[in-house]
Chains A and B, each alone.
Chain A
Amino acid sequence: METFVQLVVNGLGKGAVFALLALGFVVIFKATEVVNFAHGSLVLFGGYLVVATRETLGWAGAVVVGIVGAGLLALLVERLLLSRSKLADPFSLALLTIGVDVIITEEIVRRLGVSLPFIGDAWDAQPIQAGGVTLFRTHLVALVVATVLITLFFIAFRYSNWGIAMRAQAENKEAAALVGIRSARVTATAWLVAGLLAGVAVLFIATQDFSGAGLSRGTHSIALAAFPAAILGGLDSTAGAIVGGIVVGLVDALSTHYVSFAFSKSAVFLVMLLVLVIRPSGLFGTRETTRV
């Protein structure tokens, strides 16, 4: 029983991190209909900035630089590459993001060389013992941070002008343009927000607690698990991203323990396929059903 509680809490912690990433995917997809395959490289970039600036700025300063840097890189990708090809269809733009992903990832991996730095200094490898249960501090902090950020996001998404503009544009681009919503601004902020969230997520991924590996190509592939999270939640549903993230986190934690680490990687995708067989547009996806 203790083991199970431990697994669930740790699974939720992982899930919170995947939820942050999946939310970024979904926000970008809603604003632009582009599936951003470069998300993993945004994660790596944020982490790399932390590593590169930690010695001069201290950890906290480096974390700020990393988060902001990941946000700005996302913004840059959108402004420089995607916004210039407005009429290109979302599929070619998705392929473009793959190119961006390869370039950024390979460059960072090259720069890291053989070092695999851990970057969660403030919480990593400081387990908490509570009534016979061992909990990773990283997962608990991730859970709290993600809950706060996701709550803030939903408040803004629901009540702010930015949220209204974002949802209006996601639903009907032409009608949104006709009432004076600036599509370029909505799109740019969507990328910025997604990048910031990726910058936060990496602080929990490149830790001993989460992955047992420092910042590396492995960080990138872990971040990719946010992709099935977003898909099984429904690519156009923000709430779905959260649920999807948590499902992926739990499946990952439980299958690692009860089956094997190797199986956990495919278990996540198996669950995604299972969900898609039953609900082709994801648990909360609406795109296909409302366009009648």
Chain B
Amino acid sequence: MLTVRNLRVRYGRSVAALHGLDLDVPDDGVLAVLGSNGAGKSTLLRTLSGTLRMHRGEVVEGEVRYGDRRIDRLDPAAIVGLGIVGVPEGRQIFARMSVDENLRAGGIGARSAAERAEAKQRVHELFPVLAERAGQRAGLLSGGEQQMLAIGRALMSSPRLLLLDEPSLGLAPKIVERIAATIREIHAQGTAVVLVEQNAVMALAVADTAVVLEVGSVALAGSAAELAGSEEVQRLYLGGHAESDADAEREAQQAREQRAGMRGLSRWSG
């Protein structure tokens, strides 16, 4: 279990990004983290994966524990060693390297060669396209394939906890469905997932539990179904861009339907 207690993170001397955030990430399950821009979602993931310092951020108070280990002062490689691996926002694949080399880079943090070979097979089963295009330059893949590569690369060290930062960003709805189904599949194979998303419809369809961040702390928490049903989430994240109340109601209704549809899909493919 990953526990975050009273976490306060600051960038530079004064810009506070998280104010006393508390969070529990169960060892089994998919946790969706929702929230608008600037709510602190990416800062949370950076803290969990140890890359905060690369952004000149700093934990000023509180702590993050994984099991009984305190991890908020560890470097990223040590955190990968504990089994927590992040997929950054915007995919960030190594575009000038081949698809296969990207996966090899992902396997550098693996504990043994056997584990690496097993992980690679698993990744190729999840994403057959990565096997087909093994020798191709990663930068030439489509957006969806790049996202698959980014996830596959992270799976190469057989993580116990996978941190996904906006995997649906900029992808076509069909591909988003595919990614959603894959997240369920990864979870079914025994990896816990933290899913940070702007696409609340997708995230709530995939997740078991969810939290909503607002200006640096948790505003709402509950099961995914509870949150999907809550009026506030409906208004803000499932139909929040509506011009009028009537529009909002209609969009929320659509969202509910879409969510139901996606549940069906994930059951069907899992």
Residues of A within 8 A of B (CB): 86-87, 161, 164-165, 167-168, 171-183, 286, 290
Contact A180 B94 (CB under 8 A): no
B47 at the interface (CB under 8 A from A): no
- Check B153 against A179 for contact (C-beta < 8 Å): yes
Task: List 14 additional contacts besides A167-B96, A168-B105; criterion CB under 8 Å.
Answer: A87-B53, A161-B108, A165-B105, A167-B94, A168-B102, A171-B96, A174-B54, A177-B76, A179-B105, A179-B106, A179-B156, A179-B157, A181-B108, A183-B77
Question: How far is B85's CA from A180's CA once the two chains are assembled, in angstroms?
Answer: 8
For the complex, what is the distance from the CA of A179 to the CA of B157, rounded to whole Å? 8
Asked if B154 lies at the interface with its beta carbon under 8 angstroms from chain A, I say yes
Asked if B92 CB lies within 8 Å of chain A CBs, one says yes
Contact with A along B252-265 (1 / 0, CB 8 A): 00000000000000
Select B96's contact among A87, A178, A183, A286, beta carbons within 8 Å: A286
Q: B97, A171: Cβ atoms under 8 Å?
A: yes
Bound-state Cα–Cα, A164 to B99, Å: 12
Residue from A164, A178, A181 within 8 A of B101 (CB atoms): A164
- Counting from the closest, the 10 A-B pairs by CB-CB distance are A180-B109, A180-B80, A177-B76, A175-B92, A168-B105, A182-B77, A178-B86, A179-B106, A180-B77, A171-B94
Among the listed A86, A179, A290, which residue makes an inter-chain contact with B95, where contact means beta carbons less than 8 Å apart? A290
A179 to nearest B CB, angstroms? 5
Chain B at the A interface: mostly helix, strand, loop or mixed? mixed
Given the complex of chains A and B, what is the CA–CA distance between A172 and B77 in angstroms?
A: 15
Of A86, A174, A179, the residue contacting B108 (CB under 8 A) is A179
B51 touches A171 (CB 8 A): no
Can you list 17 A-B contacts with CB-CB less than 8 angstroms, sorted by A residue number?
A: A165-B108, A174-B51, A174-B54, A175-B94, A176-B94, A177-B50, A177-B75, A179-B85, A179-B105, A179-B154, A180-B76, A180-B157, A181-B77, A182-B75, A182-B77, A183-B77, A290-B95
Judging by beta carbons under 8 Å apart, are B104 and A161 in contact?
Answer: yes
Give A180 to B115 CA distance when docked, in angstroms: 15
Interface contact A172-B94, CB-CB below 8 Å = yes
Q: Are B56 and A180 in touch, CB under 8 angstroms?
A: no
Q: Could you tell me the distance between the alpha carbons of A179 and B153 in the complex, rounded to whole angstroms? A: 8
CB distance from B123 to the nearest CB of A (A): 13
Shortest A270–chain B CB gap in Å is 31
B190 at the interface (CB under 8 A from A): no
- Whether B217 sits at the interface, judged by CB under 8 Å, is no
**Shortest CB distance B102–A (Å):** 8
Residues of chain B in range 123-177 having any CB-CB distance to chain A below 8 Å: 139, 153-154, 156-157
Chain A residues with Cβ under 8 A from B153's Cβ? 179
B81 within 8 A of A: yes
Q: Does B88 contact A (CB under 8 A)?
A: yes
* The one of B51, B87, B104 that contacts A164, using a Cβ cutoff of 8 Å: B104
Residues in A whose Cβ lies below 8 Å from that of B191 = none
Q: Which residue of B lies closest to A178 (CB)?
A: B86
B233 within 8 A of A: no
B78 to chain A, nearest CB (A): 9
B82 to chain A, nearest CB (A): 10
Asked if A164 meets B88 with Cβ closer than 8 Å, knowing A179-B80, A182-B77, A290-B96, the reply is no
What residues of B have a CB within 8 angstroms of the CB of A175 in the complex? 88, 92-94
Chain B neighbourhood of A173, CB < 8 A? 54
The reply to whether B154 and A178 form a contact with Cβ atoms under 8 Å apart is: yes
Q: How far is the CA of A172 from the CA of B154 in the complex (A)?
A: 15
Q: Report the separation of the CA atoms of residues A17 and B167 in the bound assembly, to the nearest whole angstrom.
A: 48
B49: CB under 8 A from chain A? yes
Give the distance in Å from the alpha carbon of A129 to the alpha carbon of B59 in the complex: 70
Residues of A within 8 A of B50 (CB): 177
**B residues near A87, Cβ cutoff 8 Å:** 53, 56
How far, in whole Å, are A177 and B50 apart by their CA atoms in the complex?
9
When C-beta atoms are compared, the residue in chain B nearest to A175 turns out to be: B92
Residue of B nearest to A165 (CB): B108
Min distance, Cβ B193 to any Cβ of chain A, angstroms: 15
| Interchain nearest-CB distance for A200 vs B (Å) | 28
Residues in B with CB closer than 8 Å to A164 are 97, 101, 104-105, 108
Residues on the A chain within 8 Å of B105, using CB: 164-165, 168, 176, 179, 181
Residues of B within 8 A of A165 (CB): 105, 108
CB of B15, distance to nearest CB on chain A (Å): 16
Chain B residues, CB < 8 A from A167? 94, 96-97, 101
**Closest Cβ of chain B: how far from A143's Cβ, in Å?**
30
Is the pair B97, A177 in contact by a Cβ cutoff of 8 Å? no
Within 8 A of A (CB), among B57-111: 75-77, 80-81, 85-88, 92-97, 101-102, 104-106, 108-109
